[in-house]
């Protein structure tokens, strides 16, 4: 409490450790599509992560260190991986393209 004349006011102070908002996890991933529209995503290159969440750029999301996703339409898709360590998060994105070749949808 801080007293100032006849009025009394209080002030709340919050203390945080120096690294409270620094992510110990670092997001990193690779992907391969094998010449078709099904792509495999691998976040095993991420460090310090205890959770892995994905958005595939087409309205679908997934979770896990390794995931598989099948695209339905031609287009450019931004894939985002967000990793967490229980305290903070880190994210990284890559863009892949899907196009029709012959009669098949192929992504790369």
Q: Is residue 14 part of a domain?
A: no
Q: Is residue 99 part of a domain?
A: yes
pLDDT in tens, the chain (108 residues): 444 445 444 344 444 455 555 658 999 999 999 889 999 999 999 999 999 999 999 999 999 999 999 999 999 999 999 999 999 999 999 999 999 998 899 999
Number of domains within the chain = 1
CATH number at residue 75: 2.60.40.10
Q: Is residue 40 part of a domain?
A: yes
pLDDT, position 35: 85
Q: Is residue 9 part of a domain?
A: no
**Exposure string over 91-103, b if 16+ CB within 10 A, otherwise e:** eeeeebebeeeee
Containing domain of residue 63, as a range? Answer: 21-107
Q: Which two tokens stand for residue 107?
A: 């992504």
pLDDT, position 4: 46
pLDDT, position 16: 44
pLDDT, position 108: 94
pLDDT, position 34: 87
DSSP result, 29-72:
-EEE-TTSSEEEEE-TT-BS-SEEEEE-SSS-EEESSEEEEE--
Q: What pTM value is reported for the model? A: 0.79
Quick: pLDDT tens for 14-42.
444 555 556 589 999 999 998 899 999 99
pLDDT, position 59: 98
Q: Is residue 47 part of a domain?
A: yes
């Amino acid at each position: 409490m801080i007293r100032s004349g006849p009025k009394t006011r209080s002030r709340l102070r919050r203390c945080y450790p120096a690294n409270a908002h620094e992510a110990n996890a670092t997001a990193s991933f690779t992907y391969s599509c094998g010449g078709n529209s099904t792509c495999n995503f691998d976040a095993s290159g991420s460090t310090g992560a205890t959770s892995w969440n994905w958005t595939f750029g087409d309205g679908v999301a997934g979770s896990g260190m390794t995931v598989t996703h099948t695209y339905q339409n031609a287009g450019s898709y931004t894939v985002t991986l967000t990793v967490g360590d229980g305290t903070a998060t880190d994210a990284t994105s890559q863009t892949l393209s899907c196009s029709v070749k012959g009669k098949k949808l192929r992504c790369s």
